Structure 1
Amino acid sequence: MIDFNKKTILITGGAGFIGSNLAFWFQENHPDAKVVVFDLFRTGETFSNGNLKSFGHYKNLKGFTGEIIAGDITKKEDLERLRDFKFDYIFHEAAISDTTVYDQKIMIDTNLNAFKDLLKMAKEMGSAMIYASSGATYGNAPAPQTVGREDPANIYGFSKLAMDHLAYDWMKRTGLPIVGLRYFNVYGPREFFKNKTASMVLQFGHQILVGKNPRLFEGSDKILRDFIYIDDVIQANIKACNPKKSGVYNVGTGKARSFQDIVDILQKELGTHLPCEYIPNPYIGQYQFFTQADIEPTREFLGYEPEVTLEEGIRRYIPEIRRLFEEEVRG
């Protein structure tokens, strides 16, 4: 295990879901690390689909005592503020992660071009770069999804794959330590402010708590996803700081579970017996029906081993699902 005390760490997108969990992991486990959070925070600005441009929220950082900088990764003058530091590690989580944004220029500017600016900064500072790629790079590629067999189905997946190509080029040309992590379906605390893009674990949990019958697509027992709890995602990020080899790696459990499983586990944990309602799936043709991460290379080169089953992850998450329901949903 690396001792991060006395190290200087940048987390872009640090007021978002995964970034804020990383910030607290360092604060709790390495209190003498210098952690800098850089985030756009929410502004009320929206995309053409009506969704917010930034899901970063101050409530995700309540209790965080490190340095916080508000800024936009696409603006060079904002990135200049980061040159006051010399980072040992950069965790690049900032991105447009909303797969329903179809503005291709904004997606490429934010996800790809800004990444190149951060790679240049990492090279100048001698920083290790750990960045968020995505399982969306695979699109409808057959399961188990394996690095090197991608087929992105939208501009988001395309932008993340382009990031991976850029990362491989920089690994070869510069020798910079770079690890890309392709997250599959992540769920857990601090995702609430992602609104409609929050996990179905949280969304179903709140449907059940309000007393509504869970609404599932027809055939949901056969729609399978690799759901991964946030604690395992943090584990992968930390192990990526000391890889056997730079590269792009899947971060999932290697086990696919159904949306029906989620509802059944939630009802068991919440002590409810609401009947499910089944509705036609309007997304057939643009919908991944089976995702399962091939994690053998992640095991081999990062020493990563998923520890949290879907049952255990939901059990851990239930107190937070209840708290959010009382404080944020019911208000």
Structure 2
Amino acid sequence: MTILITGGAGFIGFHVAQKLLDQGNNIIIVDNFNSFYDPQLKINRIKKLASVYKNLRVIKADIEDFSMMEKIFNKFKIDKVCHLAAHSGVRDFMDNIFIYQTTNSHGTHNVFEAARCANVKDIVFASTAGVYNDSTEPARETNKEDKPNSLYAASKRANEHLAYTYHKLFGMKFTGLRFFNAYGPWGRPDSALFLFTKKIVNDEPIDVYNNGNMYRDFTYVEDIVQGVVAALKKSCAYEIINLARGETVKLTDYISEIEKNLGKRATKHMMPLQLGDPINSFADISKAKKLLNFQPKTSVKKGIKKFVDWYLDYYNVDM
């Protein structure tokens, strides 16, 4: 099977590609290798894949360019699409207030339309836990979530609506996966785990929002990959599904676990709650269990250890 992965040089895309390549699929990665974070990390992810797998093709292209996406879909016989390319995060939106629309909304529309024109009817795409509003109850897919608290969440919710419309009009199949706080080796440098680890190693203070009174459903990347691969195999007509561990961890406990693995205490800079950030975010994963046989396996303790071990090795840090 030939699967196109947009954003395949990114954190989750890299791990999904690795798993699908292991299974013998032909993988086409499309990524623009932008400088939102260190492009060398993206390049090194691809180098790692290319050094092992022959059934991999990498194309430097931007999903915002419809003509390029159309050419790619017309050139290759693509069976399925795993659409992961996006501008992520909620905290940097004032730096480029239009990027969520241009990349996440317009870019996603380009992918969907290029797929439709090439008669590719099966797409799994990344959504986000950010579509849910703050609640002490687990987030369920049946919740009516149409009042997003961030531009990022608004763009991702719009993509879910767009996918539904393409499904109804053109008979295409879509599975939208709402990822909850993915983390692990080869992670994003702007993620909490990466930032905390880097700053603790370098004796720099870490910003702790809402005095650490925040709760997150941290999901190890291999568990996320399990769900993505299952969704590609399942080929639902149209579904939105949470992918998470299904339990909360307090931010201060998360930081303590990083400190334990580094053998070093953090200097904490307490900050107010950021605009667009919920205090509580955790998922009901019963739908994923039912439809995808999803079973998250990695505890936060084990996951943080795996990340820290990777970080120290990758950056050649001697603690």
Shared fold (TM-score, shorter chain, > 0.5): yes
Q: Secondary structure at the match of 2:162?
A: helix
SS in 1 for 2:87: coil
State percent identity of aligned pairs.
Answer: 26
Structure 2 CA distance for aligned equivalents of residues 210 and 104 of structure 1: 31
Shift of 1:61: 0.9
Contact 1:36/1:68, CA 8 A, preserved across alignment: yes
How far off is 1:207 after superposition? 2.5
The structure 2 residue matched to 1:207, chosen from 178, 199, 214, is 199
**Corresponding residue for residue 243 of structure 2:** 251
Question: Which amino acid is the alignment partner of residue 268 of structure 1?
Answer: K
User: Which residue, 163, 171, 174 being the options, matches 2:170?
Assistant: 174
C-alpha distance in 1, partners of 2:173/2:276?
35
Matched-pair contact (CA < 8 Å) for 1:16–1:55: no
Q: Which has the higher contact order (CA 8 A, sep 6+)?
A: 2
- Mapped partners of 2:119, 2:167: distance in 1: 15
| 1:118 pairs with 2:114 | no
The match for 1:18 among 12, 17, 33 is: 12
User: Is the aligned partner of 1:145 residue 2:139?
Assistant: yes
For residues 129 and 288 of structure 1, do their structure 2 counterparts lie closer, same or farther at Cα, with a shift above 3 Å needed?
Answer: same
Deviation, 1:214, is 5.3
Determine the structure 2 residue equivalent to 1:9: 3
Does residue 101 (structure 1) correspond to residue 93 (structure 2)? The answer is yes
Q: Does structure 2 retain, via aligned residues, the 8 Å contact 1:9–1:90?
A: yes
**Structure 1 segment 186-265 matched on structure 2, within 5 A:** 186-191=182-187, 194-195=188-189, 197=190, 199-212=191-204, 216-217=208-209, 219-220=211-212, 222-241=213-232, 242-243=234-235, 246-265=238-257
For residues 321 and 63 of structure 1, do their structure 2 counterparts lie closer, same or farther at Cα, with a shift above 3 Å needed?
Answer: closer
SS at match of 1:57: helix
TM-score (norm 1): 0.84
Distance (whole Å) between structure 2 residues aligned to residue 178 and residue 26 of structure 1? 19
Q: 1:169 to 1:263 in 2, by over 3 A?
A: same
Letter in 2 for 1:234: V
| Paired residue secondary structure (2:311) | helix
Given that residues 209 and 325 in structure 1 are in contact (C-alpha distance below 8 angstroms), is that contact kept between their aligned partners in structure 2? Answer: no
Please provide the CA RMSD for this pair. Answer: 2.6
Question: Matched residues in 1 for 2:219 and 2:31: separation?
Answer: 24
Q: Structure 1 residues 215, 67: closer, same or farther in 2, change over 3 A?
A: same
> CA, structure 1 residues 156+55, in 2 after alignment: closer, same or farther (shift >3 Å)?
farther
Please tell me whether residue 162 in structure 1 is matched to residue 152 in structure 2.
no
- Give the secondary-structure state (helix, strand or coil) at the position aligned to 2:63: coil
Matched residues, number: 307
CA distance in 2, matches of 1:243, 1:298: 13
The equivalent residue for 2:53 is: none
Listed as ranges, the gaps of 5+ residues in structure 1 are: 1-6, 45-50
- When structure 1 is superposed on structure 2, of 294-303 and 138-147 the one drifting more is 138-147
What is the deviation of 1:183? 0.8
How far off is 1:56 after superposition? Answer: 7.4
Indicate the SS of the match to 1:279. Answer: strand
In structure 2, how many angstroms separate the alpha carbons of the residues matched to 1:138 and 1:313? Answer: 24
CA contact (8 A) 1:14 1:56 kept: no
* Partner AA of 1:34 in structure 2: N
Deviation of residue 212 (structure 1)? 4.7
Alignment of 1:264-303 (within 5 A): 264-272=256-264, 274=265, 276-284=266-274, 286-303=276-293
Q: For the Cα contact (< 8 Å) 2:257–2:304, is it kept in 1?
A: yes
Q: How far is the alpha carbon of 1:216 from its aligned partner?
A: 3.1
8 Å CA contact retained: 1:134, 1:181: yes
Match of 2:45 in 1: 60
Amino acid at match of 1:79: M
